[in-house]
Structure 1
Amino acid sequence: MTLATGIGSHPGEDATAYAEAVRVVLGELSDDHGLPYVPELPGRGAGASMTGRAVAAATDLAFDLQPAGWRLTDREGVDQRRARSLLAQDLDQVEEQGQGYVGPYKTQVTGPWTLAATVERPRGDRVLADHGARRDLAQALAEGVRRHLADLRRRLPGVDRWVVQLDEPVLASVLEGRVPTASGFGRHRVVQPPEASAALGWVAEAIAAEGAETWVHSCAPGTPLDLVRGAGVQGLLVDPAVLSPGDHDDLAAALEAGGPVALGVVPTRDPATAPTEASLTESVLRWLDMVGLEPGPGLVVSPGCGLTGATSGWARQALALAAATARHLDGG
């Protein structure tokens, strides 16, 4: 069955907007073709950003917030406590509105390499610069995600399929040595594929230990889909518009093997002219025809990236269009 989902982020800057985002997700994605998810509202501040969510979930490591962003420290700072409190409040809202829900559900967290490229070491520069620090960060993230999943299972006992989406928009830059140093005059050294795969694998293993699936999302060009799949990741979420010819082949192989593969065909910002269900269905069918496949199990329809920059009206419409497209692809 073809599913519809979103990437995670929504517009809004307060608790009221968060409650509305949860209502939108559950309202548009609760039928047989839907994969609802835990929304994120980066507009609420650093503690609600992609990195802030990971900081809130990570265990055994302490962070504080500096002008340059999140930084590893010796003891937990007030901003990390606030990030954890905000996450708990948001999950309270998900739990309240999700009472009685039965079906699949998705949550999102920053992947180990994007996290290493955005968090600073205690004495400056990114964790990416220190082999031991990036290993410790990835392992702390793995344990934190495991506990996060256990908490979600308790809150939503009717969920029969859990998916954890690792957001890795910086992975390609990490592997190609394109992440700038703190000074901006240099670049961090290339991370070799075996190390990149190992860190992804630690997180994927922790997710699997909780009986959940790992999907990786990136709407950045050059993301190594073959490496990601080789790390124990089951699902891929991509924007077909940024794929290279080789990427299309890797994505087709993943779908042919059973997926899941999410095609980000729905615009993430309010378009001048909104696409129709028919036009989105046709775009997916054209892609499938190009790679020689038919609609089938494992196919997922989504926006190309997060909906942070959209209006609240378009965020709702984007999910509705994704769901309608999934139904059309299944002949509905």
Structure 2
Amino acid sequence: MPVKLTEVARLAGVSLATASRVLNGSSRTPAPDIAERVRAAAEELGYVANAQAQALARSTTGLVGLVVHDIADPYFSAIAHGVQQAALASGHQVLLAGTDLEGDAGSPGGAELAAVNAFISYRTDAIILAASRLLNEDARLIKALGRYTKNGGRVVTLGASAIPDAQVLRVGHREGAVALVSALLRQGMRRFVILAGPHERNTARIRVQGFTETLAAAGLEPVAVVEGAFTSQGGYDSTLAFLDSLDGGPFDGKDSQAGAPFCMLAANDVMALGAMAALRSRGLRIPEDVQVAGFDDIPTLRDHFPGLTTYRLPLEEIGRLAATMALSPSTKQPSSVTGTVVLRESAGDGTTHHD
């Protein structure tokens, strides 16, 4: 049988309320000698404090909820690692939920709503929404988080949203897209196939807008824009769909008149890796026949060859900043994050590296 708090109070010779204030973390702390007596009694009896009682006494649970899209995606696992580092530093534990398996009969945002409702029921001190925001936020999610913030909860989103009173950590998706295409143009690339990701996801849409606007400024249009899932399989399927749409003989990635290779420009790294697998499945060489570029610089890229040209975001730092915004709102810190272009063998001239 678990030891009860009343037994600790009896052994320490104090009231139940006093024992609770000492062991459950109330701001009303008894005199040091009394507190020490209570702790000694608890240790002697093997008493384990009740987390729910601690939360009621402190008005905090020491929990932070983190919603990602796909836990297996290195992009989100890197962000989650940064969140966990900052959370532990402030005495919090992280509850993690993924939304790649949509709830509510597959309705957009259904799994995210279910995760948020669970976090609210656990009385988490804050909720961080790391999954890309939707073009049209779920009205039920807005309502639930509106009540949550009114009751003292804190919400942080990566990118702007319609969620009331949410703090926003702005990530430079458009700036990165502009910088990446500009770098590839300087390397002589002129023919781009954009693997766009889902239009309803703000991250994918903003990156693609940056790609196309930068090409337009250079007097160019993409050869094709192919929308697909924001996953490796999405990149694979989108690439095969493009290859299968071409007329004529075997595709060798080159314009017969200009002799210029295509560059498959993916809206994130995992799509780019899927594209590389699809190209190889058709016997195409990278970068000799087709060049490939991604976005994010996920940690697992070091395991792939040829090295993927990409735009590097400081993913763990994004997680740390988001958690600090959620758990230490008075701490002064940047409200936006940008990155840098990294040219590797998959696109560019193969000699310029910004690692």
The TM-score normalised by the length of structure 1 is 0.27
The TM-score normalised by the length of structure 2 is 0.25
Bigger CA radius of gyration = 2
- Greater relative contact order: 1 or 2 (C-alpha under 8 angstroms, separation 6 or more)? 1
